[in-house]
């Protein structure tokens, strides 16, 4: 009489363990994807031509990315300042690389106070978007979960034993 209840309990336990493993795998993949690229920037100028210069870091160990374009906005993306579809298009981010890029001048930005009000959004060719807020040089705009993910990744990297 206890054979079928035991079989059912084992089956349900196996299904729940499988679902748990799939969720852990998905969470790990999200974590690695959410923290593999960091972008910092600062404003440079020559006369009244202001343009951002980017510090792009691909912390992925195996994935290359291609940059697409830059969008300049204000008021959390409501007011469009301009687009730059040429200066970084097709630049490859190799695994483990740090790339320094300078963009074309932004036509409507002509002073330093205007720079701090501009939000910069860098897009990859895969469609992934990085919002950068102009409060200071290169402050990345992100949510709480992503902040925790970056903090956790930094802790893992500091605690890791080098294999070299």
Per DSSP, the chain holds a count of helices (H) and strands (E) of 3, 9
Looking only at the bridges linking them, the beta strands covering 139-140 and 92-93 are: unpaired
pLDDT at 136 over 70: no
**Model confidence band, residue 130 (pLDDT cutoffs 50, 70, 90):** confident
* pLDDT for residue 135: 46
| Residue of 18 and 164 predicted with greater confidence | 18
pLDDT at 139 over 70: no
Q: What value does the mean pLDDT of the chain take?
A: 84
pLDDT at 92 over 80: yes
Tokens 């100028």 belong to 45
For residues 8, 12, 15, 16, the Cα torsion angle rounded to the nearest 10 degrees is: -170
**Model confidence band, residue 75 (pLDDT cutoffs 50, 70, 90):** confident
The Cα 32–Cα 105 span in angstroms is 33
pLDDT at 124 over 60: yes
Tokens 């080098």 belong to 162
Q: How many CB atoms lie within 10 A of CB 118?
A: 21
Is the pTM here over 0.95, yes or no?
A: no
Q: Rounded to the nearest 5 degrees, what angle is found at the Cα of 35, between the Cα atoms of 32 and 38? A: 145
């Amino acid at each position: 009489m206890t054979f079928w209840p035991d079989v059912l309990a084992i089956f349900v336990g196996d299904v729940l363990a499988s679902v748990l493993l799939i969720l852990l795998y998905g969470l790990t993949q999200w974590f690695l994807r959410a923290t593999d690229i960091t972008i910092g920037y600062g404003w440079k100028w020559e006369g009244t031509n202001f343009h951002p210069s980017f510090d792009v870091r691909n912390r992925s160990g195996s994935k290359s990315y291609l940059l697409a374009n830059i969008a300049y906005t204000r008021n959390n993306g409501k007011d469009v300042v301009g687009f730059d579809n040429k200066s970084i298009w097709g630049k490859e981010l190799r695994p483990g690389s740090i790339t320094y890029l300078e963009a074309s001048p932004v036509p409507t930005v002509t002073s330093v106070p205007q720079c701090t009000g501009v939000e910069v959004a860098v897009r990859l060719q895969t469609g992934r978007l990085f919002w950068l807020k102009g409060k200071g040089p290169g402050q990345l705009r992100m949510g709480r979960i992503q902040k925790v993910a970056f903090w956790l990744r930094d802790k893992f990297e500091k605690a890791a034993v080098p294999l070299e």
